[in-house]
Amino acid sequence: MQELKFLNNKDIKQIKKRIKEIWDSEIKEDYGFLLSENGKLFIVNKEVGQIDWKNLRLSSIGISIGTYEDKGFRLNVEGSQLIGKHAKKNILELDNEQIKRWLLGNDLDIDDELRVQIDKKIKDDKFDVKEFLLIENNGDFYGTGRIKDDKILSFLSKSRKLVDVI
């Protein structure tokens, strides 16, 4: 079993600051944050902190919103939905055909249409290709991706990938 650590106010401020830097977004609700040994970040109701944890062995609690990695902070689907509704930058808008491919777990080639969108957002200072990008389609968020070698890498977990799209 992995250990979960309740984060103190200083650590929470750092997380919120990083979210603001990357996506120009905020977590407006007052959550407690827990971090697992392998870098998974969870949010919970703050009252959970009043429970005596000494005799409990938990691998997770609350909602996982992302993972700290060597390359940065990667939001999962739930994290992208929480952050995305307030985000103002590092959002990649996919059309219906692209989101279908994305949901099948495929990396996306950057075609001319995506290249125009990316270049415009870079010019408008709304995009940083070194950061994880929120994947959005028609106002819904589907996790994060990263640009590498003219592709958008999919980080959709296996349990979230669709087998087939109708």
By three-state DSSP, how is residue 67 classified? Answer: strand
Mean pLDDT of the region 51-67:
78
Asked if the structure places residue 105 within a domain, the reply is: yes
Determine the pLDDT at residue 17. 93
Domain limit, last residue, from 45, 66, 84: 84
Q: Would you place residue 22 in the very low, low, confident or very high pLDDT band (cuts 50, 70, 90)?
A: very high
**One domain for residues 72 and 24:** yes
Q: How many CB atoms lie within 10 A of CB 140?
A: 13
CATH of the domain at 8: 3.10.450.220
Per-residue pLDDT, averaged over 21-30, amounts to 90
Of the candidate ranges 26-40, 123-137, 148-162, the one whose mean pLDDT is the lowest: 148-162
Q: How many domains does the chain have?
A: 2
Distance (Å, whole) CA 90 – CA 144: 10
**Mean of the per-residue pLDDT values for the chain?**
87
In a domain? residue 30:
yes
pLDDT of residue 132: 92
How do residues 65-117 score in pLDDT, each as one tens digit?
A: 999 888 788 999 999 999 999 999 999 999 999 998 888 888 999 999 899 99
My answer on whether 115 and 155 are in the same domain is yes
Boundary of a domain, candidates 36, 59, 84: 84
User: What local confidence, expressed as pLDDT, does residue 166 receive?
Assistant: 57
Burial class of residue 47, CB neighbours in 10 A (0-12, 13-18, 19+): exposed
CB 25 within 8 A of CB 59: no
User: Of the residues 84, 115, 142, which one is the last residue of a structural domain?
Assistant: 84
Residue 73 shares a structural domain with residue 117: no
Q: Is residue 165 part of a domain?
A: no
- Domain residues for the domain of 50 are 4-84
CATH number at residue 134: 2.30.130
